[in-house]
Structure 1
Amino acid sequence: MKHQKELYKEAMTVLKATSRTFFIPITFLEKELKTTVGTAYLCMRAIDEIEDDEKLPNTIKAELLHATSQLLLKPFDRNAYLKLLEPYRHQLPEVTLRLSDWLALCPEGIRNTVASSTSEMADGMAKWASKGWHIQTKEDLDEYTYYVAGLVGTMLSDIWLWGAGIKTDRELAIGYGRGLQAVNILRNQSEDKERGVQFIPDGWTRNDLFQYAEENLAKADQYNKSISKRSILMFCKIPLALAHKTLDTMRKGNNKMTRKEVEQTVEEITSE
């Protein structure tokens, strides 16, 4: 087992390389919460990379995700996990291969919660991989966005309660996650169509998805009103502000914000 300080440094390096957008708000958290949220994100990103892999057949994705889900429900067996991934080790990223490291770095008092949330996400992803991610109804969209993003919201709510004594509304937390995911779906709609993936319910227009995103981002706005601790509020407000502005950008015909616009948004939020 690596020394915790060395492992923490490596985790932050992988986190920054994996998601620069997420890395910005996490820097506002105090050390223990930064470690907790960072490792929790890496755990969920580890399984997300399996779902997103463009070379793995859906049947293999479903098998890997379901098996990983089961491993996360008990003391995590690193060797069993690496054996599971071995046939695909050459194509999976570091963040996925090192899931056991991220769990080990996560504070013991919240580790089981993070593992349980990640397990539920993995099993939900396995279900939708088996279906080929074909969303037919709003209920399908709600279910899929719950598994891939709403669970991030509820896990964070658990972390805020554990680490700072802050109680938040879980339904609003799910809405927060759904809103961010809906923005991602809108942004990636063309690419998803090219690879034969359908995240928009049958009969829906792009405007319907905009409305879905806005309704859920409104829940995220309400969620943030319940947070009094500035460091956590900054963490929550930055992704939400970027999501709102990305929606505005897409309505104007552009697909994403410029780096300068992102930096300006972060500066506006943090100077409040």
Structure 2
Amino acid sequence: MTTLHQESMDMLKKTSRTFFIPITFLKSKLKDTVASAYLCMRAIDEIEDHESLENETKQALLLSISELLKKPFDEQAYKKIIEPYHMKLPAVTNRLSDWLKLCPTDIVGKVKSATSEMAEGMAKWAKRNWVIRTKADLDDYTYYVAGLVGCMLSDLWQWHDNTETDRELAIAFGRGLQAVNILRNQDEDDERGVSFMPEDWDRKDMFEYAENNLKKADRYMENIQDTHIQMFCNIPLQLAHSTLQALKKGKEKMSRDEVLTVVQRVTADVNL
């Protein structure tokens, strides 16, 4: 398990700019659990975002994986599902079964359930070619790709030390982070013919959507007393607030130095 732990941390560092640093602040058992959960969701996210897979293939893969996660996990069945695409898929996806092994047995069911629901929602949006026409569409999409992360983390906090958090605020937390990503990646998305902006919205509306959800994320933080969990949540939240301000000023993104400054500000004078 020590080897798998190290491999998971290495994979996390390769695949997540947002969550690797916050996860390092968690205590060891919770750190492994959150790393496992993140990598499971990242595994299916890589299918949704894959540049060369057809939408029909993405939908079929995601639905098959969703069904597999609803039962005791069958590693051989998973290998059979992804085998035709094994060479195309990244390591984080091919190794989904390893990330599940990393998760404690008394909480892995919650991680599987949330990942299954996410895969099913992503399959739905792959079938729809990610065409978002209304705010309701946007809320639905951001729930599946980000709000569910907030719900799953709330389950993990409760399992860890009975920390109770508001699930609606947890969903808003995820939505806020995702909305910032949409704004940051808008030009890139436009180039590949994808828009996550409702038809009657402009960029100002998406800024308002992001801000409203991040305000709810600020409220989510009020119920968290555990310093380690608070740090985990606060780093991506403050990075999202700062990124939003940078985008408003016309910057494409925050610089590495600006990111480090935010992290240092958040972690200053905290006794962990």
1:162 aligns with 2:154: no
Amino acid at match of 2:144: Y
Distance 1:107 1:256 in 2: 37
1:23 aligns with 2:10: no
1:178 aligns with 2:175: yes
TM-score normalised by length of structure 2: 0.98
Corresponding residue to 1:67 among 41, 49, 64: 64
1:7 aligns with 2:4: yes
Which residue pairs with 1:79 in the alignment?
A: 76
1:133 aligns with 2:130: yes
Corresponding residue to 2:239 among 242, 246, 261: 242
Amino acid at match of 2:123: A
1:146 aligns with 2:135: no
Distance 2:190 2:127 in 1: 18
SS in 1 for 2:264: helix
What per-residue deviation string (whole Å, max 9, x for no partner) do you get for residues 153-189 of structure 1?
A: 0000000000121000000000000000000000111
TM-score normalised by length of structure 1: 0.98
What per-residue deviation string (whole Å, max 9, x for no partner) do you get for residues 182-216 of structure 1?
A: 00000111111111112110110000000000000
User: Which sections of structure 1, spanning at least 5 residues, go unmatched?
Assistant: none
Residue 82 of structure 1, CA deviation = 1.2
Residue 21 of structure 1, CA deviation = 2.6
1:208-247 equivalent positions in 2, closer than 5 A: 208-247=205-244
Distance 2:113 2:54 in 1: 26
Distance 2:241 2:32 in 1: 27
1:102 aligns with 2:99: yes
Which residue pairs with 2:191 in the alignment?
A: 194
Amino acid at match of 1:116: S
The two structures, once aligned, show a CA RMSD in angstroms of: 0.7
SS in 2 for 1:257: coil
Q: How many residue pairs end up in the alignment?
A: 269
SS in 1 for 2:97: helix
